[in-house]
């Protein structure tokens, strides 16, 4: 389908003696009103929104110059992809609007040099928070958002 997010992965799991590589995938086809977002994002050591709600979507319907739509804090995250480009420091995410921290009980860890994707169809832009373990680092952030607001 057009404009899909397609993740293909290979996962080696289990102890070495019985290690198994399993192939998997996730694909999401945009529904009407779903729009792409991209930003090379600085993640700081203070918990904050991962997705910028003042940023414009990447339009894939033809629009007039300067007529693009802006992300809203109430828009929902059908797919999030994040690649931590830092060589040393980690990123922690929370999806419930709480404070992101290295000790948050529901934190998702994206370690240095690692990437992560997930489908969070009920999570709003305002509720996805991120923090670095130390300092400020750069992350590739792409998302397919449901433009509900």
Q: How far apart are CA 75 and CA 124, in angstroms?
A: 5
Establish if 4 lies at the interface with other proteins (CB under 8 A): yes
Tell me the torsion sign for CA atoms 123, 40, 9, 1: positive
Q: How far apart are CA 33 and CA 10, in angstroms?
A: 31
Establish if 142 lies at the interface with other proteins (CB under 8 A): yes
**Subset of residues 19 to 78 that bind other proteins, contact rule: CB under 8 A:** 19, 22, 24-28, 36, 38, 58, 60
Among 33, 106, 136, 149, binds other proteins (CB under 8 A): 106
To other proteins, the closest distance from the beta carbon of 103 in angstroms equals: 6
SS3 142: strand
Among 14, 40, 69, 149, binds other proteins (CB under 8 A): 14
- Candidates 39-47, 66-74, 106-114, 130-138: pick the segment binding other proteins (CB under 8 A): 106-114
Q: What is the dihedral of CA 131, 92, 29, 35, to 10 degrees?
A: 0
Q: How far apart are CA 132 and CA 47, in angstroms?
A: 8
Among 41, 47, 127, 132, binds other proteins (CB under 8 A): 127
Q: How far apart are CA 129 and CA 141, in angstroms?
A: 13
- Candidates 10-18, 43-51, 63-71, 130-138: pick the segment binding other proteins (CB under 8 A): 10-18
Establish if 112 lies at the interface with other proteins (CB under 8 A): no
42 pairs with which residues across the strands?
138
Give the residues lining the site for other proteins (CB under 8 A).
Answer: 2-19, 22, 24-28, 36, 38, 58, 60, 81, 83, 94-97, 103-111, 113-124, 127, 140, 142
């Amino acid at each position: 389908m057009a404009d899909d997010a397609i993740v293909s992965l290979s996962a080696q799991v289990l102890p070495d003696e019985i290690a198994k590589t399993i192939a998997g995938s996730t694909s999401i086809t945009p529904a009407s009103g779903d729009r792409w977002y991209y930003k090379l994002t600085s993640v700081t050591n203070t918990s904050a929104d991962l997705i910028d709600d003042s940023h414009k979507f990447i339009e894939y319907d033809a629009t007039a110059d300067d007529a693009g739509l802006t992300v809203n804090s109430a828009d929902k995250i059908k797919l999030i992809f994040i690649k931590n480009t830092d060589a040393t420091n980690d990123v922690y995410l929370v999806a419930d609007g709480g404070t992101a921290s290295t000790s948050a009980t529901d934190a998702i860890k994206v370690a240095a040099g690692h990437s992560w994707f997930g489908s969070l169809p009920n999570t709003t832009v305002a509720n996805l928070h991120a923090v670095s373990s130390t300092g400020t680092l750069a992350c590739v952030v792409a998302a397919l958002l449901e433009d509900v607001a």
